[in-house]
Amino acid sequence: MNDIYSRGGGGDDDNEDATALPIYASMVGPLKGVGYVEEGRLSADQMRQVERMGNRTDGKYVWNVPALERLLALNSHIVGDASVADFVRRIMDRSEPIDDPNLLCLVHAAFLDHRYFETQECRNTALLLPPDVARYLDDAIAHGPNLTSEQAWVAPQVAQPEHWPYLLGVLDDLQVQIDECRGALYART
């Protein structure tokens, strides 16, 4: 069964009790170029699962090479001839902030981070997006403003593009109700 905690598969190790991948690691690509494993570092077994899925990882970040190649090719006017490895290294290097708004928006697009994409006014930059990525970000901004990027990017994993607005709207309404319930609960204590 294929669920959000993809177990990887195939090969001689099917009988191993593989450790489930965190959602941030299992749902990278084909739209989402990069994911960040917030729970900590992936184990060696989880890193092998990521590789079997066709993605790359350093244990903390997971990236999809075809998705990033497509994004970088459209934005050579921003990144020059930077390779996927160069771009990923830039994301992982936190010693210097990213001051270039075009590059910062490119990073937000790679992560499918619709909230930061909107607050950084990335639509007003020189950034070019693949049509499906642009559609997703537009839909998430319009119909999922209360969702985190992790909550919203589940939509393209389970629904066709024509259903993204509806699904994002439902998830957004649910998040608003959750937030209201939390607010009421914490107000009582």
Per-domain residue ranges for the chain?
12-188
HSE of 70, CA atoms in CB hemisphere, 13 A: 19
| Confidence at 151, pLDDT banded by 50, 70, 90 | confident
What value does the mean pLDDT of the chain take?
A: 85
Dump pLDDT digits (tens) for 89-120. Answer: 888 887 888 888 999 999 999 999 999 999 98
* pLDDT for residue 82 is more than 80: yes
Give every strand in the sheet of 61-63, ordered side by side: 34-36, 61-63, 56-57
Cα 19 to Cα 21: distance, rounded to the nearest angstrom: 6
Report the share of the chain in percent with pLDDT over 90.
Answer: 57
Query: What are the angstrom distances between the C-alpha of 86 and each of 79, 80, 89, 118, 171?
Result: 9, 11, 5, 25, 35
Phi-psi region of 37 (alpha: psi -120 to 50; beta: other; left: phi over 0): beta
The pTM for the full model equals: 0.81
| Confidence at 163, pLDDT banded by 50, 70, 90 | very high
The confidence score (pLDDT) of residue 189 equals 59
* pLDDT for residue 17 is more than 60: no
Give the Cβ contact number of residue 46 at 10 Å. 22
* pLDDT for residue 2 is more than 60: no
